[in-house]
Structures are given as structure tokens and as C-alpha cells.
Chains A and B, each alone.
Chain A
Amino acid sequence: MANLIDELRIKIIDTLKLEDVSPEDMGEEDQLVGGELGLDSIDVLEMVIMIEKDYSVKIDNKKLGARVFANLKTLAAHIEETAPEGVF
């Protein structure tokens, strides 16, 4: 899971063009959306697409999204739990 979290840090910075953020700035239990990173609902949608594309995991409703995108740890856990075989 630690590897996945590291991978997600880089992918999120890249996808959301967070040029002024470095991976170590992103604590695994820090609030991901609406926190210091300044991420909003559009960023969530971008992450949804990145996660479906790269891990074949669909997050297509707001309730699920709010839980999954709480922090890096919840996101990684959800991906690990729901990704189809062969993704990792």
C-alpha cells in the first residue's frame, strides 16, 4: 500500500498540475479535497478519470467519492480492494 500511495502522490501532482507541491508535502492522512492542496470538485473528477484509466476502478457517485477521496490512505485502500485482478 505504501508503494501505491507514493505512486498516487506523483500521479495526482502530475494530473492536477500541482507544480508548487512536492510528493512529501502530501501526508497520507491529510485531507485531500478542500484542504491545503486547494483541490475542488473538478480535481475530484480528474482523479476519478485517472483512477479508472490507470487502475480500472470506477468511482461514479458523489457519496462514494466523498469517502474514497478523504485522503491518500482511503483512496489507496479503495483501489486495492476493488481493482480487478491483474492491475497490480
Chain B
Amino acid sequence: MTDIRVLITGMGLITPLGSGVDRNWTALLKGKTGIGVLTLFPTANDLSFPVGQVTKSFPPEGPPRTHQLALMAAEEAIDHTIGPPDAIIMGSTTGGMSRTEELLKEKQLSPTLFSYHSTGSVAEYLALKMKCKGPVITVSTACSSGATAIAMALALLKTGRFKKILVGGAESLCRLTYFGFHSLQLIDPHGSRPLDSDRKGLTVSEGAGMMLLESSDKIMDTETIEVLGAGLSCDAYHPASPDPEGAGALSAMKGALNDAGISPSEIDYVNLHGTGTVDNDLAEAKAFNRLFDQHRPLVSSVKGTFGHSLSAAGAIEAVVSAKCVEAGIAPSSVGLHTPDPRLELNPLRESKDAPIRTVLSNAFGFGGSNTSLVVGRSREIQGKTQGETQSAASPLPIPLEVSGIACITGAGNTSETLNAFTKGLNCRGLLSEKEISSSLSTRAARRLKRLSRMGLSLATAACGDAGDSKKPGAVFFGTGWGALSETHDFLNALYETDERFSSPTDFMGSVHNATAGRIAVKFNATGPNITTTGGDYSFEQALMSAHLLAKEDDRPFLVMGADEFHPELSRLFDASVRKGKTPSDGGGALLVKRGKTGSGPKLEPLFYENGNGNPQVVSSLVQCLGGNEKIDLDFGAVFAGLPAASRTMGRKQLDLFIQTAGFKGPVIDYRRYLGEFASASAVATVLAASLLKTGKISSRLTEKETVDLNGKGIVLLGLGNFVTAVAVYDGKGSS
């Protein structure tokens, strides 16, 4: 634990209630609801349900709605006088989908129109606007995304390496989620009535919630509001239904209290996830009642006010939680008429003035991904006086030690890929679904399309025949584009039936974190389950998340990355795929645990900065790696990730790195062997970990003589729009 505190110094909101924190807060306290009529896209009369729609419209020539909503909330949260944020972390589940689905429907298939499709593009758009040079991370854990982003910002600030982070979540209404939740029969045709006896489901909505979080090593006055703690867990139960006993919800809430160092009796108000679905509210109430069996805090759900804005909800409600503390008022559960006696809760039916020091806010999502946050007034630490400066020194997380690896490329599964790569042979192409699924039973695979099959196969292979105690307890998964097959098939079926019918299985599978959720179910991995979606750097983001958020317990965890090639969508979305000659896909998985002393290779994310608008990025990289001498001492080879779409830029960065660092070892341009797909770096990391064991890099790979690593490690550089460095070493080096 460090003494670093994480203060909420700026907040921004745009929701169906309006724009701006104050306007939202006033309307919320008046018991208003933002739930109303959908006008953003047409639907058949019998398929017209209430939604939470933001009344603002945006010019069509700008970026998609999600991006615009995010920017509006960010502009409110940020204080431009203190300079750009050091990092941006966004929760996003659908990115530019509202525009993409329109274009696909109209069969407008010019790739430039899809440049804002990815979930990662929301954070990147903010980074451009805010001139952020640091890490730009996207968390895609379905309906917990916004809260998970805040949990990650909290962890990142506590390392002491960053001072201020812009964080939040943004979501736009789109057909995918509207018809998707309908196909799951999870929409309440009367509008969501959380915690009510007659509740029938949720109301999909949109909006954005943003926060500027700043670290401080000073004891703050007790008026300051902080993010005090976060807890992450996974139900490991079902792709779309919560664990009926609420075990995952309970674990996230307990985790958040532990992280904040407080007891349940110190919580004054609980902002429930409270979607209004029968199952969620029941499971969450069970968890609540177990945690608060003595002390009963005030409790309500604001989803009857705002609707459920999916990836934005956790962030919007974190802002609401901070307002509750600031104003000393807890909001009511709008839409609630008759509290469901089975919940055994006493939810607020009118907003209530109360001394609120500390709030627990829940956000749970598909894939069983749960995040709870504790927001509250600063606490005094015993023996320290206000204003006293603490030591900011915080130990960096312990490196990750690799105990299992797996990869898939066009060359085959792990052994075929390793064999081909070490000989400098081509691994591009697409492995057949049959070969990808060889470790999966027909029954297990029947609902899985290409990405989920890859993910489950990789996870299974990386875990090998490890005993139960060695099975992964958490999953960190990076994917640039997510489940393209399910997304395509869902929209295709919808359009083929004149927007009437679509597959609930495809909807569940289309969610970016569906694969990681399925892996959690297979291994009963109840720890954090994080999916990151940052384009070509998604795996690096997953590794960074693991480094920050994985618990230091005995169970290992999976760090992985995978992307599927889709014959229609990949070329539309991914500019590097368009430039690649051979359609390729695949992924890599590493089973790791924290450790310094074991025999396995060590893995450490060392650097992540924006490559755009950041002329010092390469010198910053060299400095971060310890300067010329240390780079030479630590690393025997560079694996360079040069996405085709930003190859010229990446090549310049690489040349400058080699020149600045005076690096004389071999540089392997791995996409030449693996092909163009966003998570190629996950495969490269697996290959690097494997090469370390042999200690040699063959002449076919170096294109010169065979290189002996002499105990040195390999540094994997991600280049282009972002510059990243991941070290893989055997532990004898001093990285």
C-alpha cells in the first residue's frame, strides 16, 4: 500500500437528464427521469421501447455520437489551466457502433467512413483533443466498463508514476444493444423500475461520465472527495446472467472496502447497479444483505432516472456518488412503486438528506465482470497531521513470471508456430476453425465463433495440465476488434429481417469481453476479468492491467491477446489489415504469476506513450529503459511491432531508437512473419518467452549470424500511433 491519495478534482456528465453535473444533480434530486421515446433510429411499432436518449444532436460530419458525448463530459471535467492529463482511461463497449451499423445497413463500405469504429477510438479521440502524451487505455468489460476504468486509474495513480488521469465511460444508443437486450428479453416495456415487485428489465440509455483524478501524497482536508478504493471480481458463472447468489457482487464490494481500508459500517450509502432486471436486482440484493447484515446503509438505484447507459453507467454513477458525498444527499429510486419484498431492502423512494461520508457504488456486467468503487471524504491517517507530506515512493508491482504459453497463427497452434518462427518461416494466414478448436468439445464449442474459440483454446493450452491450484484466477485479455463474427452475424440477421429478429447468442458473443468471460467460467477464475481494446496495443494494455490489478495471491492468471480476421469487416475496420497481403489472425496467451525467483521467464510492461504529438517519445523510451548502457546490458534483441498502417511512422521511431540507444543487437520485425492483426504482439511476446529458453536467435530470423542472448532479455517495442515497451527476460538481467 502506498500513501498516495486519489482525489476527484473534476467531473463531467451528459445524460438523458441533460448536460452538466449541476443540471443532472438538480434533476436527479427532483425525481425526474430521462427515460422517454427513441428517435435516433426507427423501429417497428411493436418493437418500440422506452430508452434514455440524450436530447443533444451532433453534426454528422464529426466523429460518432459516443465520441461526442465523451468529449462533452471530458471538457466539463478537465481543467485546461493545469495542462493535459498524464493518461486517459475510458470504458467503452460499442465505440462507434451507432455509425458503423448505419453504414453497414446502407451498404456504404468505404473504409475511411469506419475510422472511428473501434471502442479504443473514443479514448484516442479524447487524447487528441486533450493533447495527452501518456497511456491511452480502453477497458471493455461490458456494463462495468466505466467503473473498471476508474479502478484502473486508481491503481495507476497509486504507482506514483502519474499525477492526473482523465477517466470515465461513454456510450451511445445503437441498434446492437437495443435489439440485443430485446433478444435476451431483458427490456422492460414500461421503462426500467429497479427494485420494484413488477420490474421486467432494464432501459438502454446513453451518456458519458468523466472524472479528472489527481494523486496527492499529502493528507487532505476532510472536505476533499477521493476515490478511496476499488474491488474487481468475476462471477465465472454465465455469459449474460449473474450468479444467482451474488457471490461475485459480494466479492467486488468486499474487495473495494478492503482496498479502501474501511469496514461495512463506514458505508453511508450504496448506489446499486440495480438495472431493473429480475435476476440482477435479486442477486445484488443478496450480496448487499450478506455484506451489510448489521449496519444498514441507505440504498437506491438511479437506473430509473438515467436508464442503463452500459459502459458509461459505472462512471456516471461514480460522479453521482461523489455528488452525494459533497451535498450530503442520497438520491431516490425513481420508477420504484412497490419494493420487491424478496429483495429484503429498504430502498429510498425519496431523496434523503444525510451525513454521507462514504459511498459504495456498484457496476456489474455481462461476462460476470463486477466492479465496486468506494468514493468518499478524505480520511485522516493516524499519527499524521493535515498537510504533512508523505513519502511518495511506492514499490512498482513485482514482475510477472511465465509458467505456460500458447499461441495460434496461420502456421498452426503453439508448437507449429514456434517451429516455423524460429526457422524464420512464414506464419501468416488463417488457421482452420477445426484446428483452432481441436481442444474444445463439440458441445463446448457450439455457440462459439472464431474469436471465442481462439481465446478458449489459447487459455486451455497455456494452462496445460496444471493442477487445480495452478489454474488461473484472473483473466486479462486484449483484443483490437473483438468478436467480429458475432457482430457481423447479429447485424446481418437484423437487417435481413427488416430489423425484427436477431440472435441473443450473437449479441452475448459480440460483447468485447465475452471471450474473457467464457475463459473465467471454464477455469472458475473469480478474480479480475479485464478486456482491453486499444487497437494494435490491446495486448500491451492487457498486460499493463494485469500488472496493476492482479492480486498477489497464489493463483496464477492469464494475460492474453487475440483477434479474428473477418472477411467482410476486418478490411473495413483495420487499415493495417487492408495493407497486409495475406489475411491473418491469431493470438497468444501466457499463464503468469507474480514472482522474482522462479525459473520461468519474466514479463514486464515498461513503457506506454502516445506516438502522436509527442516528439520526445523515443528519447523518453530510451530513458525509461535506463539509457544506452543499461539497454545493452539488459536486452540482446528487439522485437519490433510495426503495424502496416503506421509503418513509416513506426520505422522512423525504430531507427531513432536504435540510433539513440546505440543498440547493436538484432531487430526482428515480427509482423513480417505473423501477418497483420491487432494482437500480433501477444504472439510475439509468447515467441520471445520461448526463445529465451533456447537463449539463441537463429540466423534465419536475424538474417545475419545466429545471436546468443547470453542471458540478456528481449524487448518488444510497439511502434506507430503509440510507443510501448515490454521486457521479457530470464530474471538474471537487471530489468
Question: Chain A interface (Cβ within 8 Å of chain B)?
Answer: 16-20, 38, 41-42, 45-46, 48-49, 52-53, 60
Contact = CB atoms under 8 A, between A and B. Distances in A.
A41 B185 CA distance: 11
9 contacts: A19-B442, A19-B446, A42-B239, A42-B240, A42-B447, A45-B185, A49-B501, A49-B504, A53-B501
Contacts of B508: 42
Prevailing SS type, chain B contact patch: loop
Nearest to B186: A45
A18 B446 contact: yes
A66 to B, nearest CB: 13
B505 interface: yes
Given A53-B497, A60-B185, A46 B503 contact: yes
A38 B239 CA distance: 16
B442 A20 contact: yes
Interface in B175-232: 183-185
Interface string B410-444: 00000000000000000000000000000000110
A57 to B, nearest CB: 13
B241 interface: yes
Interface residues of B, number: 18
Contacts of A42: 239-240, 447, 504-505, 508
Interface in B1-24: none
Interface string B678-721: 00000000000000000000000000000000000000000000
A18 B445 CA distance: 10
Nearest to B506: A46
Interface in B79-108: none
A44 to B, nearest CB: 9
Interface in B488-545: 497, 500-505, 508
A82 B183 CA distance: 21
Contacts of A20: 442-443
* Residue among A20, A49, A60 facing the most chain B CB atoms (10 A cut-off): A49
B447 A49 contact: no
A53 B493 CA distance: 11
A26 B278 CA distance: 32
B446 A17 contact: yes
A75 to B, nearest CB: 17
Interface in B636-692: none
Interface in B286-319: none
B674 to A, nearest CB: 30
* Residue among A18, A45, A53, A60 facing the most chain B CB atoms (10 A cut-off): A45
Nearest to A65: B185
A69 to B, nearest CB: 13
A43 to B, nearest CB: 8
Contact of A49 (B239, B241, B443, B503): B503
A41 to B, nearest CB: 7
Interface string B146-162: 00000000000000000
Contacts of A52: 501
B441 to A, nearest CB: 9
Nearest to B448: A17
B25 to A, nearest CB: 37
A60 B201 CA distance: 13
Closest 9 CB pairs of A and B: A45-B504, A17-B446, A20-B442, A53-B501, A49-B501, A19-B442, A46-B505, A42-B505, A42-B504
B553 to A, nearest CB: 32
A52 B446 CA distance: 23
A17 B266 CA distance: 51
A46 B504 contact: yes
A45 B183 contact: yes
A75 B419 CA distance: 53
Nearest to A62: B185
Contact of B183 (A16, A18, A49): A49
* Residue among A17, A19, A48 facing the most chain B CB atoms (10 A cut-off): A17
A60 B666 CA distance: 63
Nearest to B189: A60
A45 B183 CA distance: 7
Contacts of A38: 443
Contacts of B505: 42, 46
Contacts of A45: 183-185, 504
A26 B502 CA distance: 26
Contacts of A19: 442, 446
Contacts of A48: 185
A5 to B, nearest CB: 22
A47 to B, nearest CB: 10
Given A46-B503, A49-B503, A16 B185 contact: no
A55 to B, nearest CB: 12
B161 to A, nearest CB: 43
Nearest to B502: A49
Contacts of B185: 45, 48, 60
A69 B446 CA distance: 20
A2 to B, nearest CB: 27
Nearest to A19: B442
Contacts of A18: 446
Contacts of A49: 183, 501-504
Nearest to B508: A42
A20 B446 CA distance: 10
A41 B443 CA distance: 16
A20 B240 CA distance: 25
B455 to A, nearest CB: 18
B497 to A, nearest CB: 7
A16 B443 CA distance: 10
Nearest to A20: B442
A42 B500 CA distance: 18
Contacts of B184: 45
Interface in B238-272: 239-241
B540 to A, nearest CB: 33
B438 to A, nearest CB: 15
A48 B447 CA distance: 17
